[in-house]
Each structure stands twice: as C-alpha cells, then as structure tokens.
Amino acid sequence: MPTNRSLDQRSTTASSLLADLAPDLRTALTRVGYGSDNLVAALGDAAHAALWRSEPVPVRRAARDAGELGTLIRLLLLGDPMPEREVAAALAPVDTERAIAAGLLERDGDEIRAALDLRPLDLGEGTRWVLSDLDDSMRRRTLDADHVLGVGQASLSLLRATPTRPVGTVLDLGTGCGVQAIHAKSYGRTVTGTDVNARALWLAAATAALNDLDIELCEGSWFEPVAGRRFDQVVANPPFVVGPARVEHTYRDSGLALDGASELVISGIPDMLNPGGTAALLASWVHINGQDWRSRVASWLPDHGIDAWIVQRDIADPALYVGTWLRDAGLDPREPAAQARAERWLEAFAAAEVDGIGFGVVYMRDIDGPTEMLAEDLTHPFEDPLGQETHRYFERSAWLRAVATDPGLVLSSRFEVDPATALERVSLPSTEGWQQRVARLHRGDGPLWQHEVDDTTAALLAGMRPDGLPLSELVELLSFSDTGDAATPEFESAVLGVVVSLVRHGLIHPR
C-alpha cells in the first residue's frame, strides 16, 4: 500500500476508505476492460475523438451499445447519472454503498453518479487508472480552490517530455492526482510525491493503490516535505500560471507574483539532485519589454553545478493567456466577475511591462563544474517524445564540455553524420525568378532541428566518416579548395563553431 506521511487524521481516514476500495475496483475495471485500447475499440475513432473535444453526445450514443464498458464510460467519463442496478453490475464486486462512503460515487435521486473522475491512461507500460476531481469538460462546473486536476494537456506534455532511463529515486514535486508519480514507477525504483493540497494526496494515494503501486506521499509546501533529501530524478508540473500574487486554484496558482513559482522551483531543484541526477519540469516565464527571456531564466540557476537545457514551446499574448486560464477555471469571460478578474490580471501584466508569456520544458543535470545553459525556441511541431532526446542531449553536452578547453581534441576527432540528417537545398523567389538558394541541414527525428548552412559546411559534412579523416585534415582540404592556401586561425575557428553547434543538436556525432 502507498505510504502517507504528515496527512491530517481526516484525510488519512478518507484516503484509507478509497484506497481500501482499490482491489475490488481494480478487479471490476479489469473485468470490464476499462482500458485505453478498449475505449477506442468500443467507441470508434469518431466518438473517441469527440471525447477529447468535450462533446458528450457522440460518445453517449456509441456507449449505449457497449454493454458494461459503455455503462462505465457514461458514468465515469461523461458524468451521466445511471440506474443503480446497471452501476452495481458494471462495478461488481465493488459494493455501491462502500463506493459512496469512500467518495467515488454519489446518489442523484434514484440514480448513481460519479463523484470523481476515473479514467484509463496508457503510459507505455499498459493501462493505468487515474483518479481526480470532476472537471467541466462534459458538464459546466465552477472549480473549487482545492480542485485536483486530472490528466490534462500539461500533464500529457510532461509525460512525453520526461526522460525514462532507469534510476533509483524519483521526486514528483506537486504530485496532484499522482499521474507523474505512477509514470515514474516505470523507471524509478522508489518514488516520492509531495503536495500542499491534502485532497490531492488523498486522490494520489487512491490512484497508487488502484494501480497496486507503492508511492511515498508527503504533505507540505514546495521542497519542505523532503528537506535535506536528494534524488536521482526530479519531475514537476508546478502551479506555474503567471499572474498576480494570489491563489484561486492550488493546482495552478502559487501565490507568487508573475513567474515566481517557476523561479522558486528552478532555483531550488539543484539542491535536490544526487550527483549526476536529472530534472524535468514544466515552467513559464514572462517576456519583459526590452529584456531577453533567456537572461531572466539564466538568473534563476546557480553559478556552479548545473547543465540546463531550456526549451520554449510557446509564447502567448497576455490577453489570450488570461482568457485561456479564465476558461480553464470554468469561468465565462463575458460575465462581470470574470471581466473584473481579467482586468486585475492584465493590469498586473501592464505594470510589469509584460508583453508575452513563454511556456516550455526545463531540463537540468547535476555536473561538477560551472553552470552551463542552452535556452532555445522549439515552437515548431514534432512527434517524437522530447524525453527520449534528453539523455542524448546531456551526453553530447558532456562531450563538448570535456573538449571545450582544448580545440585540438575536437580537431583530432573524427565525425559522422547522423543517419536522420538530410541536406535540403531550397530555391527562393527573387525579382529574377527562382534563383536565391538556401541550404538547410534537417534532422528527421527527435525535435526536428534545422540549421541553415553554407556550401563549405555542406562539403565538410560530405567528407565526414567514422573511419575517415580527422577534422583537422578536413579543414585543411576545405581551406585549400576554397582559397588555395592553408587554413587560417579564423577559418579554423569558424569551422569549430559550426561543428560544436551541429554536435549539440545531434546532427553529427564524434567518433
């Protein structure tokens, strides 16, 4: 059973009731086939897509012919009140009265309604089930302050962005319903989840029990519950919403002004990492008029001990940002109360000269040396999970760090072009037709990086072979081909800069 530390007696008792229900509930869900693949098969592609668009009617129509699985779809995913007899049959051997006492179900007149959201999720290790509070995706609701978010787009983004090489200890900072923690059990030997919200820990404990996973859960603010401890990996989906210093919903609001929550977490994680440990978290940062956002994020890192890779995935206009988060809380921006809240929010942005809000993923690795940081935009779409790239990025970064003080080591190395790298030549329009050409190196996997290159760089890569000439000889051949003379220090330095950039993004590899 999951371990719960520092929970008050009331929460511990509630957690036990729901967690004690887990074995029978797991039996019922397994028997009925309440899993990700079965949902698609039962609903069909069109109705399953409608489920994610928050359109209940197509889902309800498809579920009517899906037997007991259809009953659970309507009960747990659509929030429909259902006849008690049908609910009891679909959830057998779960006792309905026990489920009501535990907070899973509730009575609605003569029918039964779900009191919690319970949905399947395939994290690559088979179906897991996640318990959370009901949202307003299928029925209009105003969310409470201690609302526990389920599997939203941010959670899914972090799941795909998290590196999953096996490690010993994992910390899920701000675990919420526990979705990151149960994912971490697929690669971490022991997992600890923390949260300031006792209700979140209640649901995280039940989620862990439902999946028969042992997860340590600790109540408290930020890093306080695990003070003095270190971990091999830290993951976090903190309350990173940027705005005035207030808490309206604990799952998104930190009480810190602007991007203070992201600053607190990014600056605090380095002290939580074991030697060589890594971190992956979602974060937001403001774009201040006249300032470079990269410098802002860099100021949150220590001077020593961290290799950081900051990936900006989106930049939002302040007005669009505020409207999006108002709707997230179930508010209608046309209502007077919502408009007053939007006015205060936008006034806070204006006072701080915020002209945009950046959002992305922050990766950190503990290193023995001065802090390094690469902050870059990756706003284009790509399909490969970013988490698979993370360890390869840090390995490339470590190689570059090892040779940084001795250019001779780079020049004596041999390189090969990554199999996924392609050279594309694009003609651009001009006043005289299609004449101007641009050459681009394009990596066809991972984050799909592109580098615009000149003909000299293209020729350099054409000569790279793992058993071929070292870089120093390629440089001499290129220089002689271009100018008829030996390579100058300036030419050599320019080539080294290009090579470092292409290695960092994995378009070429040292051999």
Beta strands in 13-152 (DSSP E): 82-83, 105-108, 111-114, 117-122, 127-132
More confidently predicted of 3 and 278: 278
Domain annotation covers residue 98:
no
Tell me, yes or no, whether 34 lies in a domain: no
Side-chain half-sphere exposure of 70, counting CA atoms within 13 A: 14
Question: What number is the average pLDDT over the span 302-317?
Answer: 96
Whether 384 maps to a domain, the answer reads: no
CA angle 141, 142, 143 (to 5 degrees): 105
Q: For the residues 323-345, what does the mean pLDDT come to?
A: 83
Instruction: Please report, for residues 76, 99, 101, 133, the alpha-carbon distance to residue 20 in angstroms, rounded to integers and kept in the order given.
Output: 19, 10, 11, 19
- Count of domains observed in the chain: 1
From 91-105, 329-343, 346-360, 440-454, the region with the lowest mean pLDDT: 329-343
C-alpha span between 386 and 376 (Å, rounded): 14
What is the sign of the dihedral through the CA atoms of 124, 273, 447 and 241?
A: positive
Q: How far apart are CA 431 and CA 219, in angstroms?
A: 66
Query: What angle do the packed helices 198-210 and 9-20 form, to 10 degrees?
Result: 20
- Check residue 253 and give its pLDDT: 59
What pLDDT is attached to residue 6? 40
Q: What is the mean pLDDT of residues 416-441?
A: 86
Q: What digits encode the pLDDT tens for the residues 270-307? A: 999 999 999 999 999 999 988 999 999 999 999 999 99
Domain, as residue range, for 447: 406-510
Q: Which residue has the higher pLDDT, 482 or 296?
A: 296
Query: What's the rounded mean pLDDT across residues 114-129?
Result: 90
Q: What average pLDDT does range 75-96 have in this prediction?
A: 95
Taking 50 as the threshold, does the pLDDT of residue 384 lie above it?
A: yes
> For the chain, what is the mean pLDDT?
89
pLDDT digits (tens, 9 = 90+) for 426-437: 887 877 777 767
Q: Is residue 228 part of a domain?
A: no
500/491 Cα distance (integer angstroms): 14
The predicted structure's pLDDT at residue 123: 78
Indicate whether 462 belongs to any domain.
Answer: yes
The amino acid occupying position 185 is K
Residue 330: its pLDDT value, please?
Answer: 72
Find where tokens 């870059």 sit. Answer: 376
Render 122-149 in DSSP notation, one character per residue: E-SSSEEEEEE---SSSS--PPPTT---
Closest CA to 177 of 142, 215, 139, 141: 215
Residue 174 has pLDDT above 90, yes or no: yes
CB 446 within 8 A of CB 382: yes
Whether the pLDDT of residue 79 is over 70: the answer is yes
Other C-beta atoms within 10 Å of 444: how many?
A: 12
Domain presence at residue 128 = no
Examine residue 307 and state whether it is found in any structural domain, yes or no. no
| pLDDT above 50 (res 1) | no
pLDDT at 5: 41
Q: In this prediction, what percent of the chain has a pLDDT beyond 70?
A: 93
What letter would DSSP give residue 177?
T
On the question of pLDDT at 138 being above 60, the answer is no
Surface-to-core class of residue 257, CB atoms within 10 Å of its CB (0-12 exposed, 13-18 middle, 19+ buried):
middle
pLDDT in tens, 9-37: 333 334 589 999 999 999 999 999 999 89
Q: Residue 145 — pLDDT band, cuts 50, 70, 90?
A: low
Structure confidence at residue 183 as a pLDDT band (50, 70, 90): very high
Q: What is the CATH number of the domain that holds 413?
A: 3.90.930.50
* 209-256 confidence digits (pLDDT tens): 999 999 999 999 999 999 999 999 999 998 778 877 565 655 555 667
Rounded Cα distance between 112 and 57, Å, is 19
d(CA 181, CA 125): 13
Query: Which residues does residue 476 pair with via DSSP β-bridges, in sequence order?
Result: none
21 found inside a domain: no
